[in-house]
Chains A and B, each alone.
Chain A
Amino acid sequence: MTAAEIRASLIDLLRTIAPELEPSELNPAEPLRNQVDLDSMDWLNFLVAVHERLKVDIPESDYGKLATLEDLVAYLARKR
Chain B
Amino acid sequence: MIQFKLPSLGADMEQGKLLEWKVKPGDPVKRGQVVAVVDTSKAAVEVESWHEGTVLELVAGPGETIAVGAVMATLLEAGEDAATAPRYQRPEKAAPAAAPAVEKAAPAAAPTAAATRKHISPAARKRARELGVDPERIEGSGPHGAVTLEDVERAAAKPAAPPADRYSSMRAAIAAAMSRSKREIPHYYVAETIPMQRASEWLARENAGRPVSERMLVGALQLKAVALALRKYPELNGFWREGAFRAGAGIHVGVAISIRQGGLIAPAIHDVDRKALPQLMRALADLVKRARAGSLRSSEMSDPTVTVTNLGDQGVEAVFGVIYPPQVALVGFGRLAARPWAEGDTVRPMPLVTASLSADHRVSDGHRGARFLAELRELLQRPETL
One of A4-12, A40-48, A66-74 at the interface: A40-48
Measured between beta carbons, the chain B residues less than 8 angstroms from A39 are: 258, 313-314
- Mask, B303-345, CB within 8 Å of A = 1, is 0000000001110000000000000000000000000000000
Q: Does the CB pair A44–B212 fall under 8 Å?
A: yes
Instruction: Tell me whether A20 and B260 are in contact in the complex, defined as CB-CB below 8 angstroms, given that A41-B288, A44-B212, A51-B212 are known contacts.
Output: yes
- The residue in chain A whose Cβ has the minimal distance to the Cβ of B213 is A48
Q: Does the CB pair A61–B217 fall under 8 Å?
A: no
Is B366 located at the chain interface by the 8 A CB criterion?
no
Partner of B212, one of A18, A41, A57, A61: A57
Is A22 located at the chain interface by the 8 A CB criterion?
no
A61 to B204, CA, bound (A): 8
Q: Does the CB pair B213–A51 fall under 8 Å?
A: yes
Is B207 located at the chain interface by the 8 A CB criterion?
yes
> How many A residues touch the partner, as a band?
10 to 19
Q: Does the CB pair B204–A44 fall under 8 Å?
A: no
Is A77 located at the chain interface by the 8 A CB criterion?
no
Q: Does the CB pair B260–A44 fall under 8 Å?
A: no
A38 to B82, CA, bound (A): 54
Is B249 located at the chain interface by the 8 A CB criterion?
no
Q: Does the CB pair B313–A47 fall under 8 Å?
A: no
Is A30 located at the chain interface by the 8 A CB criterion?
no
Instruction: Tell me whether A59 and B208 are in contact in the complex, defined as CB-CB below 8 angstroms, given that A40-B219, A41-B285, A51-B213 are known contacts.
Output: yes
Is A58 located at the chain interface by the 8 A CB criterion?
yes
A65 to B95, CA, bound (A): 63
A49 to B30, CA, bound (A): 36
A40 to B219, CA, bound (A): 9
A73 to B179, CA, bound (A): 47
Measured between beta carbons, the chain B residues less than 8 angstroms from A61 are: 204, 208
Is B143 located at the chain interface by the 8 A CB criterion?
no
Is A60 located at the chain interface by the 8 A CB criterion?
yes
- The residue in chain A whose Cβ has the minimal distance to the Cβ of B216 is A44
A57 to B210, CA, bound (A): 10
- The residue in chain B whose Cβ has the minimal distance to the Cβ of A57 is B212
- Mask, A4-36, CB within 8 Å of B = 1, is 000000000000001110000000000000000
A61 to B261, CA, bound (A): 32
Partner of A60, one of B208, B258, B261: B208
Is B96 located at the chain interface by the 8 A CB criterion?
no
Q: Does the CB pair A47–B212 fall under 8 Å?
A: yes
| CB of B260, distance to nearest CB on chain A (Å) | 7
| CB of A16, distance to nearest CB on chain B (Å) | 11
Q: Does the CB pair A60–B207 fall under 8 Å?
A: yes
- The residue in chain A whose Cβ has the minimal distance to the Cβ of B211 is A57
Q: Does the CB pair A44–B208 fall under 8 Å?
A: no
Is B215 located at the chain interface by the 8 A CB criterion?
yes
- The residue in chain A whose Cβ has the minimal distance to the Cβ of B206 is A60
Measured between beta carbons, the chain A residues less than 8 angstroms from B219 are: 40-41
A18 to B258, CA, bound (A): 13
Q: Does the CB pair B217–A41 fall under 8 Å?
A: yes
Measured between beta carbons, the chain A residues less than 8 angstroms from B288 are: 41
A18 to B215, CA, bound (A): 21
Q: Does the CB pair B260–A37 fall under 8 Å?
A: yes
Give the contacts of B262-318 with A (CB-CB under 8 A). 284-285, 288-289, 312-314
- The residue in chain A whose Cβ has the minimal distance to the Cβ of B207 is A60
| CB of A73, distance to nearest CB on chain B (Å) | 18
A20 to B260, CA, bound (A): 9
A18 to B96, CA, bound (A): 41
A47 to B211, CA, bound (A): 11
Q: Does the CB pair B215–A44 fall under 8 Å?
A: yes
B interface, CB within 8 angstroms of A: 204, 207-208, 211-213, 215, 217-219, 258, 260-261, 284-285, 288-289, 312-314
For the A-B complex with A37-B260, A61-B204 known, give 17 more contacts whose Cβ atoms are closer than 8 Å.
Answer: A18-B260, A19-B260, A20-B261, A39-B258, A40-B219, A41-B285, A41-B288, A44-B215, A44-B217, A45-B285, A45-B289, A48-B213, A51-B211, A51-B213, A57-B211, A59-B208, A60-B204
Between A and B, 15 residue pairs with Cβ closer than 8 Å are A19-B260, A37-B260, A39-B313, A39-B314, A40-B313, A41-B217, A41-B285, A41-B288, A44-B215, A44-B217, A44-B285, A45-B285, A45-B289, A47-B212, A59-B208
